[in-house]
Amino acid sequence: MGTGRRNFIKNTTLYTIGSLMLPRLTYSNMKGTLPKQGLKLTFEPYDLQLKHVFTLANSSRTTTPVMLTRIEFNNIIGYGEASMPPYLGESQKTAARFLQTLNLNQFTDPFRMDEILEYVEEAAPGNTAAKAAVDIALHDLTGKIMQQPWYKIWGFSPENTPHTSFTIGIDQPDVVRQKVDEAAPYKILKVKLGGPNDREMIETIRSVTDKPLCVDVNQGWKNKEEALEMAHWLIEKGVEFVEQPMPKGNIDDHAWLSEHSPLPIIGDEAIQRLTDVQEAAGVYSGINIKLMKCTGMREAHKMITLAHALGLKVMIGCMTETSCAISAAAQLSPKAEWADLDGNLLISNDPYKGVTVEDGKITLIDKPGIGISKI
Ligand code: MG
Bridge-partner residues for 188, per DSSP? 165
Contacts of 225 (CB under 8 A, 6+ apart): none
pLDDT at residue 35, as a whole number: 65
344 vs 7: which has the higher pLDDT:
344
pLDDT at residue 54, as a whole number: 74
Mean pLDDT of 122-131: 98
Residue 244 Cα, ligand 1 centroid: separation in angstroms?
7
pLDDT at residue 17, as a whole number: 39
pLDDT band at 57 (very low <50, low <70, confident <90, very high): low
pLDDT at residue 161, as a whole number: 97
Mean pLDDT of 169-192: 90
Residue 237 Cα, ligand 1 centroid: separation in angstroms?
20
Rg (CA), the chain: 26
Mean pLDDT of 5-30: 43
pLDDT at residue 172, as a whole number: 87
pLDDT band at 11 (very low <50, low <70, confident <90, very high): very low
Residue 77 Cα, ligand 1 centroid: separation in angstroms?
32
Torsions phi, psi of 221, nearest 5? -90, 140
Residue 268 Cα, ligand 1 centroid: separation in angstroms?
5
pLDDT band at 170 (very low <50, low <70, confident <90, very high): confident
Residue 242 Cα, ligand 1 centroid: separation in angstroms?
9
Record: fold of 151-374: TIM Barrel (3.20.20)
pLDDT band at 275 (very low <50, low <70, confident <90, very high): very high
Mean pLDDT of 186-190: 94
Domain ranges of the chain: 27-147, 151-374
- Cα–Cα distance between 139 and 110 in angstroms, integer? 9
- Cα–Cα distance between 302 and 364 in angstroms, integer? 21
Which pTM does this prediction carry?
A: 0.88
- Cα–Cα distance between 138 and 141 in angstroms, integer? 5
pLDDT at residue 56, as a whole number: 66
35 vs 323: which has the higher pLDDT:
323
CB 286 within 8 A of CB 315: yes
| pLDDT score of 5 more than 90 | no
Torsions phi, psi of 232, nearest 5? -65, -40
pLDDT at residue 322, as a whole number: 98
Which protein residues have their CB within 5 A of the ion that is ligand 1? 216, 243, 268
| pLDDT score of 34 more than 90 | no
Mean pLDDT of 57-65: 83
- Cα–Cα distance between 255 and 75 in angstroms, integer? 51
Which superfamily does CATH assign the domain made up of 27-147 to?
Enolase-like, N-terminal domain (3.30.390.10)
Torsions phi, psi of 220, nearest 5? -75, -20
| pLDDT score of 26 more than 80 | no
pLDDT at residue 95, as a whole number: 98
pLDDT at residue 33, as a whole number: 55
Residue 260 Cα, ligand 1 centroid: separation in angstroms?
21
pLDDT at residue 28, as a whole number: 43
pLDDT at residue 59, as a whole number: 74
Q: How far is CA 29 from CA 15, 34, 106, 185, 243, in A?
A: 20, 8, 21, 60, 61
Contacts of 133 (CB under 8 A, 6+ apart): 43, 67, 68, 69, 80, 81, 82, 95, 99
Most confident of 31-40, 46-55, 90-99: 90-99
Residue 44 Cα, ligand 1 centroid: separation in angstroms?
27
Q: What average pLDDT does the chain have? A: 91
pLDDT band at 169 (very low <50, low <70, confident <90, very high): confident
Residue 127 Cα, ligand 1 centroid: separation in angstroms?
19
Mean pLDDT of 321-334: 98
Residue 209 Cα, ligand 1 centroid: separation in angstroms?
22
